[in-house]
Structures are given as structure tokens and as C-alpha cells.
Amino acid sequence: MPEAFSISMAELAAREPKAWPDELISQKHLIYSSPAALAFNSPGAEGFGVKRAALTLPGSVMLLFSPGCCGRNTSALGGPESRYGQRTFYLLLDETDIVTGRYQSAIVDACEEIAKSQSPAPEVIVLLSTCVDALLATDMDRLVRLAQERTGIACVAATMYALTREGHIPPMVAVRRTLYSLLRKAPKDPRRVNLLGFFTPLADSCELYALLQQAGFSQVQELSRMQNMTQYQDLARANFNLVLHPESRLAAKIFEEKLAIPSIELSQSFELDKIQKQYAILSRLLPVPLNDQKPYAEALAKKEASKAMLRDLTFAIGETSNAEPFGLALALLRMGAHVAEIFAEPAPEKLALIKAIATISPRTRLASNLSPSMLFYEARPGEVDVAIGSDACYYHPESAQLPFLDDAKPFGYQGFMQLMTAIETACQGRTQKAKGGDACAAS
């Protein structure tokens, strides 16, 4: 029987990215829609794909226009009664619409109908296109202009073009650019700072809010907390941006070029020394130093309390969670845990992490969520105690399940503590494992 492809981290680290196996390079094979891929190929189905992300604009509604094959999963946004479903409109395009080009006038007509039917009228209409429009070279700028003229409402364009996923500007990078495209240059307020990166706020308990307020930033702004377009425009008054996710780098560049707002980048990490170092670097760039001693001490105490638990656990780590899988795997390994498998797509910029993992745990295996061979994946009973990420949970249904995919995003010391608590909770009440005793007892 065929087996799912996987490769040890030692083998992967020994090769240059150009020599990585074809199974790890999606352009070289058919793509299998595994649980991780579904979060992209069906953006409304789970997490934040282009559909949900586009609706982060306050006061916005979305018009998705596509053939039925592209729009079939839109109901996964929650249906007409959900806060997303109430703001989503769907224009079904048939073959005649597409061949004759009449779909373009139908889109403008649909925008006018939306504007007239909504009370109050939306502040923004998002025109969401798909691969069909990319292949037809639909002039989205023209459609946006016509829709704005017809409705008197601000319109923006976003796209679900799956083939650009590994291109220069993939969909989740492009949609972030779209979300900030309506900002107008404004006088700067030295007390304001923007957090760029996610489509929902950081967890309310994240120490970053308090640290920035200590430094004199009384207004810590996030797009997802803006209630209307007036508040949205306040994003243009920020003194600088903190970029918390690499997919927001392009948006930050546009902030700098269009609005003269510079940026500083912080990365998510579950290693306390790296978190502390990042805050120290940020502190040197601010007029008032940051004092992170208290949250660091609390996180360090949590780490010490969790070490015994982690030493007895073996993890499988997926990519559909609120954590970068290679960085999370390395953090757990450095705390004494075992990592049997990682389900993720490697990239050249992850090579340093891959080599570090290989040094500590050369037998950890990497499997591609996009490889068709995953159809034949079979978990070995008892190998994994805790699965992190909805994809890893799918592949290891008998393990302790930890999707770690809440809308409130973990970051910094708070994110580390949230992860440790979530592992404890996922493990509570588990039956004794075959190897090593009660691996999943809460510490």
C-alpha cells in the first residue's frame, strides 16, 4: 500500500532548498486539500481566509461574484444570521455571463442593489473576485470606479486567486494591502501606534498593550477594533506601526510610502529569551524604556512549572493554528518536549529553524499538507500525546486535541502562558499512555 511522504528534519536540513524533494514543492505536483489546505482553498471554512479578512473593514459588506464552484463554501461563514453572513452577498456567474463579458455590468448593478437595500447603507463595498477574473484579466480598478460612481459608496477590490499562493503577492498579503487602501494622509499623533498583522485583536491580556501605554502610547490601534470608518481613518494618525506578522510587511511599506508612517517588526515566539530580546530592542527605539520584568517573571514561573509535564509529552504540530509550526516545534524541543511530526510547507526562509530542529531532534519528520500522498497517511497508535493545530488533530484523532486557533491572537509572554495552559487543559483526564506512564496528566 502506498505511504504518505515524509522526511526527517536531519535529511531536510542537509539539503539546500533547491534540492528539497518535489513532494514539498506544490508547483511540482497536484495539490491535495488536506485540513491545512482547506483553510486556504475554502477561505470561509475555517480561520481567516480572504473572505473573512476582507470583512475586517468596519461598516463593510462583501459582494462575491463567481461560478458556483468558487462560491459553494460561502455558507461556512455562518449563514445569513451570522455577523459575517449578514454582510455577504453572492452573485452567481454562469457560463454565458463569463463568455460574453456581461458579468461586469451585472457586478455594478448588484452593488447598486446592495446600496439601495441596506439600511443604513454600508460604508464600504468589497468586490471579491476569484481565479476566473484573474484568468479573464478583469479590470478590477475599472469595476471599483464604476461601482463607486453608481452607489456613492467607497469600494475596494480583493481576490481569492489560489494560484498566487506562493507568488510574490499571495492572497493573504494582497488582502492586507486592500484593507488599508482607503486611508488618507493625516497629521501624526505621537501618542498613537498601530498593530499590524492579524484580522482580530491580540488577546486582551497581552502585555504588549500595557508596555506601550507605559511608554506613552495612550492609543494602541488595531483595525479589528475599529467600529466605523471615522475610527478607521485614525489609523493614518499613528506615529509608527508595529508589524506582528510577516504577511503585513507589504501593508507596512504602503503605510510608509503613502502615509509617511514608519514601522518596526516584532515576530511571534514561544521562547522567553527571544521575546525578552525583542522587547529590549523595541525599548531602545522608544523615548521611554519598556519595563517587562513582571510579565517576564510570570512567564518564567509558568515555564518552570511546565517543564516536568513537557518532558513526558510527544507532540505533532500542524500549520493551522495560531503559531508558526517550525518556531513552535523548536520552542517545545528546547523546553525538553519531544516532537514526532510537523505538518507544514517548508520555505527557504525557514532553513535556520529547520537546521536548529534537526540539531536537537534529527528524527522529527516533516510531512507536506499539500502532497497527494497524505491520502495514505496513517498515524501510529501511541506515538503522539498532543496534537497542536486542527490539521495535526485530524491526523491524530486519538491524541489530546489542541487546535489553538482562537480568534484572539496570542503574542509575547501572554501567548507563551496561553499555550502552556492550553496544553495542560488538553491533557487533563487523558488515559494512561502506553509509553512512559501518564504522559498527559496536568502538571
**Which pTM value belongs to this model?**
0.88
* Residue 190 banded pLDDT, cuts 50, 70, 90: very high
Residue whose C-alpha is closest to residue 320's, from 415, 390, 384: 390
Give the total number of structural domains in the chain: 3
Q: Which residue has the higher pLDDT, 132 or 163?
A: 132
Lookup: cell for 3? 505511504
Clarify whether residues 166 and 199 are in a common domain. no
pLDDT at 51: 82
Span 220-240, average pLDDT: 96
CB 240 within 8 A of CB 217: no
Clarify whether residues 47 and 87 are in a common domain. yes
Q: Which residue has the higher pLDDT, 258 or 443?
A: 258
442 has pLDDT over 50: no
- Residue 145 included in any domain: yes
36 has pLDDT over 60: no
| Extended beta strands in 138-235, E state | 154-160, 192-196, 219-221
pLDDT at 133: 76
Lookup: cell for 42? 475554502
Clarify whether residues 249 and 357 are in a common domain. no
Residue 420: which residues within 8 A CB-CB, separation 6 or more? 302, 303, 306
- Residue 395 included in any domain: yes
Lookup: cell for 139? 479590470
* Residue 187 banded pLDDT, cuts 50, 70, 90: very high
Lookup: cell for 279? 522587547
CB 132 within 8 A of CB 98: yes
Express as a percent the part of the chain with pLDDT over 90. Answer: 67
Strand, coil or helix: what is 161? coil
Q: Which residue has the higher pLDDT, 205 or 435?
A: 205
- Residue 355 included in any domain: yes
The range of the structural domain enclosing residue 59 comes to 43-179
The Cα-based distances of 395 to 2, 163, 381 in angstroms read 17, 26, 11
439 has pLDDT over 90: no
Choose one of 179, 210, 237: the last residue of a domain. 179
Lookup: cell for 441? 496528566
Residue whose C-alpha is closest to residue 339's, from 327, 322, 321: 327
Characterize the bridge pairing of strands 386-388 and 124-130: unpaired
CATH number at residue 216: 3.40.50.1980
The torsion angles phi and psi of 361, rounded to 5 degrees, stand at -140, 75
Clarify whether residues 250 and 132 are in a common domain. no
- Residue 286 included in any domain: no
Lookup: cell for 270? 514561544
CATH number at residue 310: 3.40.50
Clarify whether residues 53 and 17 are in a common domain. no
Span 294-310, average pLDDT: 97
Cα 325 from Cα 165, distance rounded (Å): 18
* Residue 171 banded pLDDT, cuts 50, 70, 90: confident
Clarify whether residues 165 and 199 are in a common domain. no
Q: What's the mean per-residue pLDDT of the chain?
A: 88
pLDDT at 370: 84
Choose one of 227, 247, 266: the last residue of a domain. 266
Span 72-99, average pLDDT: 74
215 has pLDDT over 60: yes
CB 388 within 8 A of CB 317: yes
pLDDT at 164: 60
- Residue 127 included in any domain: yes
Span 153-174, average pLDDT: 79
- Residue 146 included in any domain: yes
pLDDT at 84: 73
- Residue 50 included in any domain: yes
* Residue 435 banded pLDDT, cuts 50, 70, 90: very low
pLDDT at 96: 87
* Residue 433 banded pLDDT, cuts 50, 70, 90: very low
* Residue 77 banded pLDDT, cuts 50, 70, 90: low
Clarify whether residues 63 and 162 are in a common domain. yes
* Residue 131 banded pLDDT, cuts 50, 70, 90: confident
- Residue 244 included in any domain: yes
What pLDDT, in 10s, does the model give residues 253-295? 999 999 999 999 999 999 999 999 999 999 999 988 899 999 9
pLDDT at 367: 95
Choose one of 148, 179, 210: the last residue of a domain. 179
pLDDT at 44: 43
The Cα-based distances of 66 to 40, 92, 269, 308 in angstroms read 17, 6, 39, 53
Clarify whether residues 353 and 244 are in a common domain. no
Cα 261 from Cα 254, distance rounded (Å): 9
Span 200-223, average pLDDT: 96
Clarify whether residues 327 and 410 are in a common domain. yes
441 has pLDDT over 50: no
Q: Which residue has the higher pLDDT, 130 or 361?
A: 361
76 has pLDDT over 60: no
pLDDT at 85: 72
Clarify whether residues 214 and 328 are in a common domain. no
Q: Which residue has the higher pLDDT, 347 or 362?
A: 362
Neighbours of 287 (CB within 10 A): 7
Clarify whether residues 226 and 104 are in a common domain. no
* Residue 25 banded pLDDT, cuts 50, 70, 90: confident
Clarify whether residues 117 and 175 are in a common domain. yes
